[in-house]
Structure 1
Amino acid sequence: MFEYVDSLPFQIKYFINLEEINLSLNNITEVLAEIGTLEKLQILNLRGNILTTIPPEIGKCKNLRALNISDNRGTRLDTLPSEIWNCYNLETLRLANNNFQVLPVEISKLLQLTDLNLSNNNLQSLPIEIGELKNLKNLNLSGNPLSEQERSKIRSWVHNCNIRFE
C-alpha cells in the first residue's frame, strides 16, 4: 500500500549533496525553509500536491534547473516569492493549473529559461519583459483568459518560440 507524504522533513537540510527531489502526487501543503540549504539541488518536482506557498529560501537554490509546482489540488498557488527570480539557472519552470493572475516582470531575470508552462491559470496579460527571455523555446499559455489583442502582443515580444494558446 502506498502512503502519501504530507511534508518535507526538516532533516532534509542534512542532504546537502542532493541534486533531485521528486515528491509529485503527494499531499504536501508546504515546503520548509530548509529547502534553501540544498545548494546543489538541480531538479525539484512538487507537481500534484496541495501547496499554498513556496518559501523565499527557494531563491538560495542557485543550481536549480527545473522546477515543477503545477497541478495543486484544492487551494491553488497564486503567488511566488520574489526570491525565486534568483534561481538564474532555471531552464524549465512549470506553473500550470494554479491560480496565477500576474506574472511579475522579474521573470526576465531567468535568462536560461527554455520551457515555461503557465497553462490553466488566470493570466489576462504578460509583461513585455517576457520578450527578454531569448532562450525561451516553449511557452504554454493555453487555458488562460488572454484576449486576441494580448495574444498578438505576446507574439510580437517573443521570437523563435513555440507559443501555445489553445
Structure 2
Amino acid sequence: MKTSKKLLLTFALLGLFSFTFNNDPNTFLNKGLNDIAKEDYLKAISNFTMAISIQNDLAVAYYHRAISKNLFGIKQGFYNSDFCLDFIDAMKYGYAPAIEKLYELGRAECFLLKSAALMPEKAFCIDISSQNINSISNQFSEFSNLVSLNASNNGLQDLGTIYNSCPYIISLDLGDNDISYIPAELSKLQYLYELNLSNNKVQNIPDELTQLEAVAFLNLRGNQLTAIPKDIGNMKAIKLLDLSLNKITKLPKSISELENLETLVLSGNPISKTEIKRLHADLPDTKIIFDVQ
C-alpha cells in the first residue's frame, strides 16, 4: 500500500515537472484519456493532476482521475478508497456521471461506527444497521465525506440533522425503522442517488423531496401513504419507484414525465383498473407491477 502511494506521488511530481509552457488543461485531459486507453494509469493520474492544477474546477478531470486511481488499484491488487474524494470533487463541480460511478464503486468498503471514527475523513461508507438505534446523533458531523449510510433495521424515529453534516450522501438506507416524518430539509442531499424508506410509518412525502433530481432508486414500500407529491415528475432520474403496500388510489399526472422510469411497483394499493390503464398509456416503456383484481 505504501509503495503504491509513493508511486502515485512520483508520477504526480513528474507531471508537474513536465508543465513547461503548456497551460491548456484540455491538453493534459486528453493525454490522460489516451493513457487510460493504453492502461497506463499512473501516467493518466499524472496528466489529470496537471489539468486540475491549471483549472481547479475541471470536474471531468477529477472524474477520470478517480477512474484511473481505481483501475490502478485493481491492477495492483488492492482497494484504496481515496478515489472517492475525486468523485466528490467531480460532483461538486457539476459532473453528474460522478454520482452514479461513486454509487457503483464507492461502497465496497463499509465501516462500523467505531472503526469509522478512527479515520473520519476516509469513512465514505458506514453501516449501523440492526443495532437498536432510535436516533441519528450529531456524531455524524465528523464524517464530512460520507457517501453511503446503512441505518436499516433499527428503531429510528427521526433523521437528526444528517442532511446538514453529510452533504455528499448518495445512498441512504433507512428501511425497517419507525420513521413517521420526513423533514423537508432532506432535499439538501442534492447528490442522493438511492433512498430507501421502506417499512416505516410515513404518512406524507414533503413536496421538497421532488427537488432530489439525482435519485434513481426510491423505495417507499410498506408505509401509510395515500398520495405522492404532484411534482414527482421533477425527479427525472428515477429508474425504480416502489410504492407497494401503501394506501394510494391515484398517481399524479406528472408521473408521465419520468422518462427514465423502468419499474413502477404498485402492489398492495387500492388502485382501480382505470388508473392502471391510464398509467400504462402514460408510461408505455415502464414495467408496472400491480395486483390483478
Aligning the two structures, in what range does the TM-score lie when normalised by the shorter sequence? over 0.9
CA offsets, 1:88-109, max 9 Å, x none? 1000000000011011111111
**Pair 1:89-2:214 in alignment:** yes
Letter in 2 for 1:124: T
Asked if 1 retains the 8 angstrom alpha-carbon contact of 2:206 and 2:229, the reply is no
Q: Look up the match of 1:49.
A: 177
Letter in 2 for 1:47: G
Report SS of the residue matched to 1:57: helix
Q: Which has the higher strand share?
A: 1
Q: Identity over the aligned pairs, expressed in percent?
A: 30
1:66 to partner: Cα distance: 0.3
Asked if 1 retains the 8 angstrom alpha-carbon contact of 2:149 and 2:172, the reply is yes
With structure 1 as the length reference, what TM-score do the two structures score? 0.93
Q: Distance in 2 between matches of 1:97 and 1:16?
A: 31
**Pair 1:136-2:261 in alignment:** yes
Q: Distance in 2 between matches of 1:120 and 1:33?
A: 28
**Alpha carbons of structure 1 residues 66 and 3: separation in structure 2 relative to 1, 3 Å:** closer
Kindly name which structure, 1 or 2, has the bigger radius of gyration based on alpha carbons.
2
Moved over 3 A (4+): none
Report SS of the residue matched to 2:172: strand
**Pair 1:115-2:240 in alignment:** yes
1:32 to partner: Cα distance: 1.2
Asked if 1 retains the 8 angstrom alpha-carbon contact of 2:219 and 2:242, the reply is yes
Asked if 2 retains the 8 angstrom alpha-carbon contact of 1:37 and 1:61, the reply is no
With structure 2 as the length reference, what TM-score do the two structures score? 0.54
Report SS of the residue matched to 1:67: strand
1:14 to partner: Cα distance: 2.5
**Equivalent of 1:62, from 177, 183, 190?**
190
Q: Distance in 2 between matches of 1:83 and 1:146?
A: 25
**Pair 1:28-2:153 in alignment:** no
Q: Look up the match of 1:104.
A: 229
Q: Which has the higher contact order (CA 8 A, sep 6+)?
A: 1
Q: Distance in 1 between matches of 2:275 and 2:284?
A: 15
Q: Look up the match of 2:53.
A: none
Q: Distance in 1 between matches of 2:192 and 2:289?
A: 25
1:55 to partner: Cα distance: 1.6
**Equivalent of 1:152, from 257, 277, 280?**
277
Report SS of the residue matched to 1:146: coil
User: What value does the CA root-mean-square deviation take over the aligned residues?
Assistant: 1.2
Q: Distance in 1 between matches of 2:164 and 2:226?
A: 26
Between the two proteins, the alignment pairs up a number of residues equal to 162
